[in-house]
Amino acid sequence: MHSAFPAAVLAAQTAAWDRIKHVPFQTWLNLGICVLAVVLVLRMWRTLRKFNDFAPWIVSAIAAFMILCYWTYNRNEPTFLTPMVERLTLLLPTKSKHEQELDRLRKSREEN
């Protein structure tokens, strides 16, 4: 009975390694970028914290606002945030509205 246990463990490790080998390269690249981003954010947070206790919170709020504006303009927000971004499109510009306005201006120039 004892000799079957190591063989089962080795078989399980081989099966896990085979599954890992089939993971696409893009997934590993995305995972590496995420880990690097977390490390950079933590280092920046600590650096800003040495500067001032409120500095990391101010920078975080500005970054969140910029991301929200980007999502609103391009309409590529996560699906669970769509109701909130829909409300923001009344206040903030969107790419489709901007393109419609440009088309309207071009047509008015062509008529003149």
| pLDDT tens per residue across span 17-69 | 788 888 888 988 999 999 999 999 999 999 999 999 999 999 999 999 999 99
The number of CA neighbours under 13 Å toward the Cβ of 32 is 6
**For the whole model, what pTM was predicted?**
0.60
pLDDT band at 7 (very low <50, low <70, confident <90, very high): low
Q: What is the mean pLDDT of the chain?
A: 86
Q: How many CB atoms lie within 10 A of CB 97?
A: 12
Residue-range domain boundaries for the chain = 1-51, 53-112
Residue 1 predicted with pLDDT over 60: no
- Tokens standing for residue 50: 């040495």
- Tokens standing for residue 67: 């991301």
Q: What pLDDT sits at residue 109?
A: 85
Q: What pLDDT sits at residue 12?
A: 60
Q: What pLDDT sits at residue 32?
A: 94
Q: How many CB atoms lie within 10 A of CB 49?
A: 13
Q: What pLDDT sits at residue 99?
A: 86
